[in-house]
Chain A
């Protein structure tokens, strides 16, 4: 390729500089500088509520967080959201992907419509479902009542213990399209001959699904799981309008407070900047760490089986 092997000349250097330099400066100032700044702040006891010069306390913020029971409760809740969301999401998207690999009239339309929720603002999705689940006028109540499944309206979102479940449902609704697309692409890359050969050998469709399709889908699962893990682990918007309650500076509902909401509260409500910055780094490491473990494990499994 000629364009690739052109030697560096002055014109090209000007061209590259004019294009890249502003971007590098922008990204440097607006992403790296604040990221480093946050890290430094996380070693101080900066708190805007208290008038004092911030002092370096090094790892004290981190140890304070790790010794705080609220941190562990909130982390456990974030993991619970993940644990509830991922299986539901992958089940739905696997089912949908299998459905959409079939050839039938109207498939393109069904596909387009089914993938829609992914592209809507999550903040709307939270509100949307809050309204569907409304205890007085909600459509879910109306539907179940008409079908005779419930005798009287249920206030779905009132019980603190089940709020997290609804958060997971709405998160699933918001995100299931993405794993569907990934699994669909994975399914379409499986050679048809393989399944036909299995059929000739007398395998039932369940058997060929279990021993041919599923193992070959593992890499797609790994990708989908990782991305969905990070999305669910850092859930924010959906909860804000579904169950967090009171955006006017009121307290954030403690029963659906996940890591991101906790972090938002620490920094922008309580103004405990140092502690909040430390938490943001903990979230970063937690999501990265889990993501890496996730992928390697699934990948190994797929390779071994």
Chain B
């Protein structure tokens, strides 16, 4: 018995040792970007690095970023004034609206595919799903010119429309699995009581697939928020910029000071970070189901 306990004890130590390494690998970089964003320039630019936590933490970089725009690495005039606020609000707006639409539309469509029989069902399902595993890049090239001709380039509504369409296959597929998990007897009872399909959706399907809808909403929100390629291609002017593009401009074009860029990066990753921290269960369910199919 003592030997066994001893063995367990040693095993524990090993487990925590590997956990520490895993956390250093996974969380270390995130920790450092946060520390960089609240460090004073003096401390951050010290070589070799002396402190792994700032002695005088400061929110200056964030204040600068949102008030006058990020600081140039050299000078003090900033071309990025107002860019953070606009892009933050744009990104929030586009992400929330697209995710809401995707959730609503794909719950309805998911229900239709999960529960109803009709001619051509297989064909329509295939039609909507086919592009899911394929890279949409082939569509994007021609889409750019179509969207330009339609005058929707560089508009938030154009972005929202594209995101909705690109996320629909995943949403529909997820929701049809989630709706299938509802006990059909409840719907039958409601039908016998005289509910029509719309009432059935309103009173039975929506309330009972809440957690599925939450998963679809969160996965969609995250996908839109994190996306870079679409806003890169479909937006131009500062007024319709999204956060990911603004961050890439900070890095490449404007040569913003490091601590200010770090703050911009923290702002860009904050919503996904918080969602991942508090709603990971929903996310993992949605994201793995979607990827594995």
Q: Chain A residues in contact with chain B, CB under 8 A?
A: 1-6, 8, 11-13, 15-16, 19-20, 22-24, 26-28, 30-35, 37-39, 41, 92, 95-96, 99, 102, 104, 106, 110, 112-125, 127-132, 134, 136-137, 139, 141-143, 145-146, 153, 173, 178, 181-182, 185, 223, 227, 230, 234, 236-237, 240-241, 244-248, 250, 260, 263, 267-268, 273, 276-277, 280-281, 283-284, 287-288
Contacts and interface: CB of A to CB of B under 8 A. Distances in A.
A38 B18 contact: no
Interface in B112-143: 112, 115-119, 124, 127-128, 131, 134-143
Main SS of the interface on chain B? helix
A3 B109 CA distance: 16
B87 interface: no
Interface stretch (B64-72, B209-217, B271-279): B271-279
A178 B291 contact: yes
Given A11-B197, A34-B139, A112-B280, A23 B146 contact: no
Interface of B: 12, 15-16, 18-19, 22-23, 25-27, 29-30, 32-33, 36, 44-49, 105, 108-109, 112, 115-119, 124, 127-128, 131, 134-146, 161-162, 164-166, 168-169, 172, 184, 187-188, 191, 196-198, 222, 225-229, 233, 244, 247-249, 251-253, 258, 261-262, 265, 268-269, 272-273, 275-277, 280, 283-284, 287-288, 291-292
Nearest to B46: A137
A242 B278 CA distance: 29
B97 to A, nearest CB: 15
A121 B269 contact: yes
A122 B269 CA distance: 10
A281 to B, nearest CB: 6
Nearest to A113: B27
A123 B141 contact: no
A120 B118 contact: no
B131 A23 contact: no
B85 to A, nearest CB: 18
A8 B164 CA distance: 29
A99 B18 contact: yes
A268 to B, nearest CB: 7
A34 B135 contact: no
6 contacts: A5-B117, A33-B146, A110-B22, A127-B247, A178-B287, A248-B252
Given A120-B226, A284-B134, A223 B165 contact: no
A128 B48 contact: no
A174 to B, nearest CB: 10
B265 A127 contact: yes
B228 A141 contact: no
B168 A23 contact: yes
Contacts of B36: 131
Given A131-B33, A237-B229, A246 B139 contact: no
